[in-house]
Structures are given as C-alpha cells and as structure tokens.
Amino acid sequence: MNLNLCRNKRARSVAYTRRMEPSADDPLYRQAMDRTIYLLDRSMAPTQKIRAFNKGRAILDEVERVGGPGSVERLAQQGKLTGVDGIGSSISSVVCGAYGAGPTDYLDHLEASTTIAIGPGSQLRDALKGDCHSHSTWSDGGAELRAMALAAQALGHEYLVATDHSARLTVAHGLSVDRLAEQLVEIERLNDELAPFTILTGMEVDILDDGSLDLPDEWLARLDVVIGSVHHRIHQDAAHMTKRLVKAVANPHVDILGHCTNRKVMGNKRRPSNFDADYVFAACAQFDTAVEINCRPERQDPPVELLELALEWECRVSIDSDAHAPGQLEWVNYGCDKAASVGIEAEQVLNTRSAGDLVALLS
Ligand SMILES: [Zn+2]
Ligand SMILES: [Zn+2]
C-alpha cells in the first residue's frame, strides 16, 4: 500500500484512520511510529530493531512532553531529529515522512514488503470472528491488552481471547491467581470501553508433567477459554507424553490443545515432541478439545500430516495467532491457508463462531 502521508492534514488523518484506527487522535509522529512497529512485528523483524523503535517512540514522547505539543514536528521540519539521543536515521525518516518533511519511502516499503498474502484460505479468513490465543504485557507480550484488542478489532475480529501464561512459566511472567484476578478486572473495564468488541477471558495454562494443569479448577472454571500447552519437558519419552497430553485434553476445563508438538522450524529449531497422535487426537475428539493450528511462523504447529490425522479423528481446530504483539495478529492468514490446504471447513473451526456461540459451546 502506497499511502502518501503528507499531502494535507485531512488526507493524513484519513489514511491513518483506515490503517490504525486506535491511534487516530495521537500526534502524527506517534501514529507513524506505531504503524512502523506494527509492521516490524508483522514481519518478525529482529527484536533489537523493534526495541530500538519502541525506545525511539518513548524518546519522542518525552521530547513532546518536555517541549510541548508540536515539538517533534518542529524538529522534523528543521531536520534536527537525528540530533536527539537515541533517534537514528530510520526513525527520523519515518517521522519526517509523517510530517511531509521528507519522503515516506521507509514506511511505504515496510507496508509493501511485510504484507501477508492470503491464498486458498481467504474464505476461512473471512469466516474468522476472533482469535483464541494472544499475549499482552500481563505476561510476555510486547503490547498492552488494550492495544492488542484494538488491533484485533481493526483486523475485523469481533473478539480476542486474552490467554497470558500461567504462573509456572516464570520466564514469561506467568500470572499468579492474584494477577489473573486483576486482569479479569481490567478486561471488564476494557469491555465496557470497547463494546461491541469483546475481550474474552482465558489463559494459556501449562500442562504439568503429570498432565494436570497449572491453575486451580475453580479458576479454570471461571475463564471463557482455556488453552492447555506444554512448555517444559518437551522431549520426554513418547509413552509419558501421550499420557500427559491425553490427561490434559480430557480435563473438562481445557478447550484447546496449544501447539501440540512444540516444534520450532525457524531460528533455534526444535524437534517435535514424541507422542502417539492417534491417542491424543482421539481424546481431543472424545472430550471436544480443539487442536490448535498455531500460526506463529517459527512454530507452524501441527505439521500438515498431523493436522490431517486430527481431521481423520474429526477434531475441531482453532486457528490462533499466538500473537505477542499487535502486528502478529495478522499471522492467522498462515493458519487459514494451511487449514484450507487440508480441506478444513469453516464449521470445524472454533473461532468462526461469534463470541456468544463460542462461550456457550465451551461452557
Ligand atoms: Zn505456548
Ligand atoms: Zn502462547
């Protein structure tokens, strides 16, 4: 998309309203920086790069706070942005582009080069009404829950399930019961603000070594959507892993089996877990636990042959972004294409349901 950001104020505001409604009232530098960070996340850019842009945004906010509204624009117009500590040429060019003080090449190129095409899965994508797996700053996500919800809404979703990690995953700041309770209060407040968009309550709960779950039953029962995922002892022997997964998916509170093989196919690759997939998928079908199509590019879990097996067992699937940042919510396109490639119909996909139907189905 080649949107000219600097013709006149009205045109700029319309362009950004269409692209990122959530921040349409923010100053232009912030909208441009938010959009850039969104696109970098969408393209899985290196963490350091995204961190530099996040830091740059905070620095510009400080410039605006100390110098008053319009300070960033003044520096952009005077070509002095790179004189600010922490603002390099890329950030400067994004901001100058937003104010018509330079070309918009950087952002235009990012828009075009990070677009996630959709192929055979386009009908499924159109049928999706929400996303059942997302993280926010409540655990290891990079954006606040509100920003995640607004981005999901901008993508046409009616709901987003907040599924931050459970307490065992300390490296990901997993939620204790007390923090989960706080999150539920925030969700209620956000739902009042964002209606008719809905944030459904949920958690990505660790499946413990014995197949039990890392959250007490009374809390599991309170959540709209529970994903059970293995995050440790991934390579234990197949017999043990099979029992562990079967026990977890048989738990009446578990609605979705998250990234079932735990393989990683990019970066620090990881071989999949070993388990008897017939047993596990038979249990998923029996206990009505959906098998997740995890859309993260480094996971692409389950592999196609396992997905086909899950379909033979007539399992339901859930096409989930597992987004840790707003731009990553677009990754559901990958899962829709994959689902379509093995002949999955909209009816078999959990998140083609409305929020109300989903909650009714899972309760
Ligand atoms: Zn996970
Ligand atoms: Zn996750």
Residue 321 CA, ligand 2 centroid: distance in Å: 9
Which ligand has the nearest atom to the CA of 163? Answer: 2
Instruction: With a cut of 60, say whether residue 42 has pLDDT above it.
Output: yes
Residue 330 CA, ligand 2 centroid: distance in Å: 15
Residue 133 CA, ligand 2 centroid: distance in Å: 6
pLDDT average, residue stretch 235-254: 98
Closest CA to 160 of 322, 335, 340, 360: 322
Residue 30 CA, ligand 2 centroid: distance in Å: 28
Amino acid code (one letter) for 217: D
Residue 317 CA, ligand 2 centroid: distance in Å: 16
pLDDT at 52: 94
Report the distance separating Cα 97 and Cα 295, nearest Å.
33
Both tokens of 148, joined, read 């995640």
- For residue 8, give Cα distances in angstroms to 80, 197, 289: 22, 32, 52
Residue 262 CA, ligand 1 centroid: distance in Å: 8
Residue 179 CA, ligand 1 centroid: distance in Å: 19
Both tokens of 250, joined, read 């048989």
Which ligand has the nearest atom to the CA of 134? Answer: 2
Residue 258 CA, ligand 1 centroid: distance in Å: 6
Instruction: With a cut of 60, say whether residue 224 has pLDDT above it.
Output: yes
pLDDT average, residue stretch 33-58: 95
Instruction: With a cut of 60, say whether residue 312 has pLDDT above it.
Output: yes
The per-residue pLDDT for range 49-86, each reduced to its tens digit, is 999 999 999 999 999 999 999 999 999 999 999 999 99
pLDDT at 363: 87
Which ligand has the nearest atom to the CA of 261? Answer: 1
Residue 228 CA, ligand 2 centroid: distance in Å: 10
Residue 205 CA, ligand 1 centroid: distance in Å: 9
Which ligand has the nearest atom to the CA of 139? Answer: 2
- At residue 342, the 3 state secondary structure works out as coil
pLDDT at 25: 83
Report the distance separating Cα 296 and Cα 284, nearest Å.
22
Instruction: With a cut of 80, say whether residue 24 has pLDDT above it.
Output: no
Both tokens of 194, joined, read 């964002």
pLDDT at 23: 61
Helix axes 304-312, 277-286, angle to 10 degrees: 50
Amino acid code (one letter) for 145: L
Instruction: With a cut of 60, say whether residue 292 has pLDDT above it.
Output: yes
pLDDT at 6: 34
Residue 85 CA, ligand 1 centroid: distance in Å: 37
Residue 104 CA, ligand 2 centroid: distance in Å: 34
Residue 36 CA, ligand 1 centroid: distance in Å: 26
Report the distance separating Cα 160 and Cα 201, nearest Å.
9
Residue 133 CA, ligand 1 centroid: distance in Å: 9
- On whether the CB atoms of residues 241 and 221 are closer than 8 A, the answer is no
pLDDT at 7: 32
- On whether the CB atoms of residues 123 and 147 are closer than 8 A, the answer is no
β-strand 317-320 against 290-294: which pairing, if any?
Answer: parallel
Residue 206 CA, ligand 1 centroid: distance in Å: 8
Structural domains in the chain?
Answer: 9-113 (no CATH), 122-362 (3.20.20.140)
The per-residue pLDDT for range 295-311, each reduced to its tens digit, is 999 999 999 999 999 99
Residue 139 CA, ligand 1 centroid: distance in Å: 12
Residue 294 CA, ligand 1 centroid: distance in Å: 9
The per-residue pLDDT for range 1-22, each reduced to its tens digit, is 333 333 333 333 333 333 344 4
For the chain, helix (H) and strand (E) counts, in that order, are 15, 7
Element (H, E) at 162: strand 159-162
What percentage of residues in the chain have a pLDDT greater than 70? 93
Report pTM: 0.91
Residue 108 CA, ligand 2 centroid: distance in Å: 30
The per-residue pLDDT for range 86-125, each reduced to its tens digit, is 999 999 999 999 999 999 999 999 999 999 999 999 999 9
Mean pLDDT, the chain, integer: 93
Report the distance separating Cα 250 and Cα 247, nearest Å.
5
Q: In what order do the strands lie in the sheet with 317-320?
A: 130-131, 159-162, 198-206, 225-229, 256-257, 290-294, 317-320
Residue 320 CA, ligand 2 centroid: distance in Å: 9
Return the residue matching tokens 């309203």. 17
Residue 52 CA, ligand 2 centroid: distance in Å: 24
Which ligand has the nearest atom to the CA of 135? Answer: 2
